[in-house]
Amino acid sequence: MHRLIQLTKQATAENATLPFAVYSSYKQQNLLNVPVVKPLFIAILSGDKELGAHHAITCHAGDFIFLSDSPTIDMRNIPKDKEYLALLIEFEYQDFSGLKINHFEPVTGGSNYCVGEITATLNTCLQQFVEWTRYAPEALWPLRRKEIIQLLCHMGHEAVLSQVSNNKISQKIHQLISQQQTIMPIEEELTLAYFCDQLAVSESTLRRKLKAEATSLQEIKDQVKLGLGLHLLQTTQHAIRYISEQCGYQSQSRFTERFKARFGITPSELRKTKMTD
């Protein structure tokens, strides 16, 4: 995987908009309640990754895990040979459109993740994805994401097709807030009435559906804001004050307080895991 590691590091050093992210650390990261809003593919390139409250899942360098879009999950990123390094690819719901595997039926109540080995063929596919998407127009990125899904299914991991549930109202609200965030920092002024108008539902219906999904509008806002903060801390060198502003917090101390309450670690503590002694 040496070539794949080289390509991912080169791509992220360019600071361009890319359809993937690279997370790295030199010290162990213990993160609680990490939101996974869309289907997420994680390729472990160096070190180990443990997931779940009781270390239920362990992935080593050379493994991948494909996570469902439904859970929040505890994660531990553990450096080996000096560094933890992972390639993350977030999939859109449209990437699964039209994909069917003969005789495959998702198992009701089945696992919300799929784990496997990064074979030589998958390694080559990931290399091509990283290298090609650095130069290809954004409109063509979905073609290569769908190619990865098709290859995983061909390798016997058809269970990835059951990792999608895009009918949740909370996910639609999350998407609306995320879209707004690309224009300006996330604001609290996005009201229940705004989302009712966007989703063409009444306030009572929206409240009822959110309650059925065991969440609330404020919880989703916090998830988007803090999820963005976590991503920026993992992938940029921006000052924590700047990141807090981009996430819609008026003070760094408030951002730190909410970040610590959700993830079990402060932004400055997380930033230190990414620095060498």
Q: With respect to CATH, is domain 169-272 assigned 2.40.40.20?
A: no
What's the CATH architecture for 2-162? Sandwich (2.60)
pLDDT (0 to 100) of residue 181: 66
**φ and ψ at residue 28, rounded to 5 degrees:** -60, 140
C-beta of residue 132 within 8 angstroms of C-beta of residue 142: no
pLDDT (0 to 100) of residue 61: 97
Q: Which of 193, 192, 198, 163 is nearest to 90 (CA)?
A: 163
Q: Which of 274, 249, 272, 250 is nearest to 262 (CA)?
A: 249
Amino acid identity, residue 197? D
pLDDT (0 to 100) of residue 11: 85
Rounded CA gap, 63 and 87, in Å?
Answer: 11
Residue whose entry in the numeric block shows the structure tokens 């784990």: 115
Q: Which of 2, 8, 22 is nearest to 236 (CA)?
A: 22
CA angle in degrees (0–180, nearest 5) for 234-165-140: 60
pLDDT (0 to 100) of residue 211: 92
Domain ranges (residues) in the chain: 2-162, 169-272
**pLDDT tens per residue across all 277 residues of the chain:** 899 999 999 988 887 789 999 999 999 999 999 999 889 999 999 999 999 877 789 999 999 999 987 668 999 999 998 899 999 999 988 899 888 644 444 433 446 889 999 999 999 999 999 999 888 999 999 999 999 999 999 999 988 887 776 668 888 898 888 877 665 556 556 888 999 999 999 999 999 999 998 889 999 989 999 999 999 999 999 999 999 999 989 899 999 999 999 999 999 999 999 976 6
Residue whose entry in the numeric block shows the structure tokens 């869309």: 38
pLDDT (0 to 100) of residue 107: 39
Rounded CA gap, 118 and 239, in Å?
Answer: 35
* C-alpha dihedral, 34 to 36 to 37 to 42, nearest 10°: 140
pLDDT (0 to 100) of residue 165: 65
Q: Which of 262, 35, 263, 37 is nearest to 170 (CA)?
A: 37
Rounded CA gap, 76 and 30, in Å?
Answer: 5
Residue whose entry in the numeric block shows the structure tokens 């990835």: 160
CB atoms within 10 A of CB 204: 9
Rounded CA gap, 91 and 66, in Å?
Answer: 10
Q: Going by DSSP bridges, is the β-strand pair 57-60/72-78 parallel, antiparallel, or unpaired?
A: unpaired
pLDDT (0 to 100) of residue 77: 97
Assign residue 50 a region (left: φ > 0; alpha: ψ between -120 and 50; beta: otherwise). Answer: beta
